[in-house]
Chains A and B, each alone.
Chain A
């Protein structure tokens, strides 16, 4: 399976909004509403922040939101804060009954 495509890095100033894209195919992102997003700080385990394209787990800030159009999913972080500086990964269930991750996006808060 080929990895989903994410931008290598995205940056923004505190208070701004940023969006991270995650592009796949009709066999993964486009075919299922099973896209999820993870935040990973250096040296830490990943943390689920969005599941099923746009749902937030309990305890996750409303500043994180997800959406999908065709074969591309997106994560938006609004009101960017210093603590949001981390790596972000998307993943999708696939038609092969497997899962595929994106390559990851490093978010920098300027």
Chain B
């Protein structure tokens, strides 16, 4: 069965950095485009970023542009999100999701908490 497992979430001070990972299994990772989606505590879903199969086509939400960097390592079946200049409003569960125009499989998420 398709599995996506996120890791790397932590408690971080404002202005800090973090690298999130998403390990994929049971499907041909290199054939699928991927996304990061986040959800602040008690709030709705927010799309964060997209990467195509070979990492040459990348898009970001305006709220994270210039601070977040999405990347992937197809040899290691892994997706990454480098988060810099963290702000209080970046506090959220971060999900990786597989898909092109929709998100057909999701991980269980990793919690990023930004607090002094």
Contact = CB atoms under 8 A, between A and B. Distances in A.
Interface stretch (A15-23, A46-54, A76-84): A46-54
Contacts of A38: 45, 103
Interface in A76-110: 87, 89, 91, 93, 96-104
B44 A101 contact: yes
Contacts of B46: 101
Contacts of B50: 97-99
A1 B106 CA distance: 23
Contact of A36 (B61, B103, B105, B107): B103
Contacts of A100: 47
A100 B103 CA distance: 12
Contacts of B106: 45-47
Contacts of B104: 48, 51, 57
B45 A46 contact: yes
Question: What range describes how many residues of A lie at the interface?
Answer: 20 to 34
A98 B44 contact: no
Contacts of B59: 96-98
Interface string A30-43: 00101010101000
A51 B61 contact: no
Contacts of B108: 45
B45 A98 contact: no
B68 interface: no
Contacts of B102: 34, 36, 48, 51-52, 91
Nearest to A104: B44
15 contacts: A1-B61, A3-B44, A34-B101, A38-B45, A45-B95, A45-B106, A46-B103, A46-B106, A87-B44, A91-B45, A91-B47, A99-B47, A101-B44, A102-B44, A103-B44
Interface of B: 35, 37, 44-47, 50, 59-62, 95, 99, 101-109
Pairs A-B, 8 closest by C-beta atoms: A36-B102, A51-B102, A34-B101, A99-B47, A104-B44, A45-B106, A101-B45, A103-B44
